[in-house]
């Protein structure tokens, strides 16, 4: 674990007293704008996070585990949170949640605020962060666990699946079923890195078989059944010859299924469908849709357990826990 950064380190780098540095980082009005900016920039550059725990509590940690996720839509991240809570349930530690909206700048601010309270641990979705956020995570004096993804370079501990592999595995199943006129419906949010990796793996596997994507529809914002239904209608209106559509989420594939039911399109006879996440929502459908189980609950459990183990005071080598995504062909391919 990196050496804990102290206020005196920031003050020394800025050439000011600790009191001045403290007041500048609190935004006190009696510190000149120039000095305040200099001190804040130094703190940002080195990854220093002010300690908001006052007085005698300053040397202790609060019994909270920060959890930073991009969204609480659908049940994707709530299921991760359920896994975290299940591991922490019989301990003194409790999770507190920050939502970033797939915005790296917002994530940076959430991480800074959470670390300022000196939590017992921090669990962060994803491996891609702004440079200041990554420095803060690297300098944190608590266990940090990045979750959901293993395709990259973790700061320390990491629990997740390979989204590249998830895309590759589903592409192989679709190709093995004989589909060649394949469409895609997915997010175009530039900071949904995991969806981008799945698509990259999917397209790479198609290319190995000499198949290119036939057509696609991209959307911004949250996945929803309504969006999936509308985009499937648009895609098929433009490319009625498609024999399979791969979706970046189950919410979208369920919307496609609803469209097909309404239009009398046979699944999988006329059109095959596949999504991602293995949401509980799929269990209530007349047909089992193809999907990929991303082990969200287990990811949460394993991440929280790392925080608990690291909190015992024993030095820990960074752990990389890679779970295999499980492609489920269902009845829709």
Look-up of token digits 């007041």: 23
Could you give the angle at the alpha carbon of 288 between the alpha carbons of 258 and 214, nearest 5°? Answer: 65
- Residues of the chain with pLDDT > 90, as a percent, come to 74
Instruction: Dump pLDDT digits (tens) for 235-261.
Output: 999 999 999 999 999 999 999 999 999
Residues 6+ apart with CB under 8 A from 240: none
**Residue 130: other Cβ atoms inside 10 A:** 16
The 10s digit of each residue's pLDDT in 176-208 is 999 999 999 998 877 889 999 999 999 999 999
Is 192 inside any structural domain?
yes
**Per-residue confidence (pLDDT) for residue 241, from 0 to 100:** 98
The answer to whether residue 73 sits within a structural domain is: no
185 contacts 171 by C-beta, under 8 angstroms: no
End-to-end CA distance of the chain: 48
Q: What is the pTM of this model?
A: 0.84
Q: Is residue 72 part of a domain?
A: no
Residue 230 lies in a domain: yes
How much of the chain exceeds pLDDT 70, in percent?
95
pLDDT (tens digit per residue) in 264-323? 999 999 999 999 999 998 998 999 999 999 999 999 999 999 999 987 766 678 999 999
Residue 64, in any domain of the structure = no
Chain segment 1-21, per-residue pLDDT in tens:
556 788 899 999 999 998 899
The CATH number of whichever domain residue 194 belongs to comes to 3.40.50.2300
Residue 289 domain-assigned (yes or no): yes
Q: Quote the domain boundaries for residue 169.
A: 163-293
Please, which pLDDT band fits residue 59 given cuts at 50, 70 and 90?
very low
- Residue 150 maps to a domain: no
Report the domain count for the chain: 1
The answer as to whether 253 is a domain residue is: yes
């Amino acid at each position: 674990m990196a050496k804990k950064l102290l206020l005196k380190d920031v003050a020394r780098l800025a050439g000011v007293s600790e009191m001045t540095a403290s007041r500048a980082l609190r935004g006190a009005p009696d510190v000149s704008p120039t000095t305040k900016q200099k001190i804040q920039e130094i703190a940002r550059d080195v990854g220093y996070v002010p300690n908001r725990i006052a007085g005698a509590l300053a040397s202790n940690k609060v019994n909270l585990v920060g959890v930073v996720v991009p969204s609480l839509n659908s049940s994707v991240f709530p299921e991760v949170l359920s896994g975290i809570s299940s591991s922490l349930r019989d301990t003194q530690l409790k999770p507190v949640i920050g939502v970033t909206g797939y915005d790296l700048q917002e994530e940076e601010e959430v991480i800074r605020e959470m670390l300022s309270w000196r939590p017992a641990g921090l669990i962060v979705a994803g491996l891609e962060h702004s440079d200041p956020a990554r420095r803060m995570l690297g300098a944190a004096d608590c266990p940090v666990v990045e979750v959901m993804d293993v395709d990259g370079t973790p700061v320390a501990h990491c629990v997740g699946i390979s989204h590249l592999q998830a895309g590759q595995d589903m592409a192989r199943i679709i190709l093995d079923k004989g589909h060649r006129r394949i469409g895609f419906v997915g997010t175009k949010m530039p900071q949904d890195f995991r969806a981008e990796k799945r698509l990259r793996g999917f397209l790479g596997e198609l290319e190995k078989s000499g198949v290119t994507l036939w057509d696609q529809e991209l959307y911004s914002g949250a996945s929803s059944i309504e969006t999936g239904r509308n985009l499937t209608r648009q895609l098929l209106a433009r490319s009625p010859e498609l024999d399979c559509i791969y979706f970046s989420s189950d919410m979208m594939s369920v919307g496609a299924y609803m469209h097909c039911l309404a239009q009398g399109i046979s699944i999988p006879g006329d059109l095959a469908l596949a999504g991602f996440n293995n949401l509980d929502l799929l269990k209530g459908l007349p047909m089992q849709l193809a999907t990929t189980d991303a082990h969200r609950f287990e990811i949460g459990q394993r991440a929280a357990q790392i925080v608990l183990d690291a909190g015992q005071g024993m030095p820990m080598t960074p752990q990389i826990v890679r779970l295999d995504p499980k492609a489920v062909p269902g009845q829709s391919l």
